[in-house]
Amino acid sequence: MIRIIAVLLLLVPGLVSAFGIKLIRDTLFDDVYPIFINIGIQFAVGFILFAGGIAFIGGFIVHRDRKRQQNKKKRR
């Protein structure tokens, strides 16, 4: 049950990132959604969604690795 919750917890930010990529792609091909007034606003929202989703997934992985003590030791 806990693994299903973890997968769902990673699925939602993944979908948000995918939608952010779609907004960026639509901006580059000059397809503006009626919600956004300007094409620059659409690009900025898409970039924020993409970066936020990737940051959440990356933070989740780093937190899990630190919790299980799987991070690499620093070499000197």
- Classify burial at 53, counting beta carbons within 10 Å of its beta carbon; exposed 0-12, middle 13-18, buried 19 or more: buried
**Residue/partner pairs of 24-31 with CB below 8 Å, 24 or more apart:** 24/50
- Classify burial at 73, counting beta carbons within 10 Å of its beta carbon; exposed 0-12, middle 13-18, buried 19 or more: exposed
Q: Please give the pLDDT value at position 75.
A: 62
**Contacting residues for 13 by C-beta, under 8 A, at least 6 apart:** 52, 53, 54, 56, 57
Per-run averaged pLDDT (10 residues), the chain, 76 residues: 86 95 94 89 96 94 84 65
Q: Please give the pLDDT value at position 40.
A: 93
